Amino acid sequence: MNVRNDFERFEELVCILMKRAGWEAKLMPRGQKGYDIEARRGKDTVAVQVKDYRVPVKVPQVEKFLDFMESPEAQKFTKGFFVTSTKFSPQSLTYFAQRSEAKIKLAGISNGSTSPLP
């Protein structure tokens, strides 16, 4: 079963999975700059960027999210999650590793289960 097909938007699935994990998650309206979901749990307020691509996430998308996380608008967030329905390209992982932002995590979701990345 491909759980993805049950949702119109991949963001909805991510939102539901976060709620199940105890997050208070809110889907942002389409066109929201920088992120798709705002989630709170305990002391954390998290910006979640979701990419539902046919191809791997590439360097410019990771760069854009890291830049957003450093922008004044993102100062309220304690963490940033970048979730994809496919995978991250090797170069985007190299770029991410080298920029090493402790408060940002990458993850991939397939068939309803998440796999965090280093």
Partner 1 sequence: MSPPKPPRKRLTYVGVFTCKGGVGKTTISAHLAGAFALSGYDVALVDMDPQRNLTTLLGEGVNLPGLGGKRSVTVYGIDEWVDTKPPEDIKMVVCDCSPAFDSNPAELVKKFDYCVIPTTLNPLGLNKNGHVIKSTLEAIRSINKTAELFVLINNYFEDETVKGKVLREEYQRFFQDLVGRDKKFHFIDPEEAAIRNSKQLFYWGYHIYTGGRSELAFTPYAGKCLPKADFLNLLQYLEENTTIEKLKEA
Q: Is 95 in the site for partner 1 (CB under 8 A)?
A: yes
Closest distance between partner 1 and the C-beta of residue 49, in Å? 16
| Binding of partner 1 by 99 (CB under 8 A) | yes
**Widest distance between CA atoms in the chain:** 41
User: How many helices (H) and strands (E) are present in the chain, helices listed first?
Assistant: 3, 6
Given candidates 7, 34, 41, 58, which one binds partner 1 under the rule CB under 8 A? 58
Of the listed pieces 8-16, 24-32, 37-45, 63-71, which binds partner 1 according to CB under 8 A?
Answer: 63-71
Cβ neighbors of 27 (< 8 A, separation 6 or more) are 9, 11, 12, 15, 36, 37
* Tokens coding 86: 């496919």
Instruction: Report d(CA 73, CA 102) in Å as an integer.
Output: 19
Residue 94 touches partner 1, criterion: CB under 8 A: yes
Q: Does 45 bind partner 1 (CB under 8 A)?
A: no
Is the CB of 27 or the CB of 62 nearer to partner 1? 62
CA dihedral sign of residues 50, 52, 57, 61: negative
Q: Given candidates 9, 70, 112, 115, which one binds partner 1 under the rule CB under 8 A?
A: 70
Residues in contact with partner 1 by CB under 8 A are 58-60, 63, 67, 70, 89-92, 94-95, 97-99
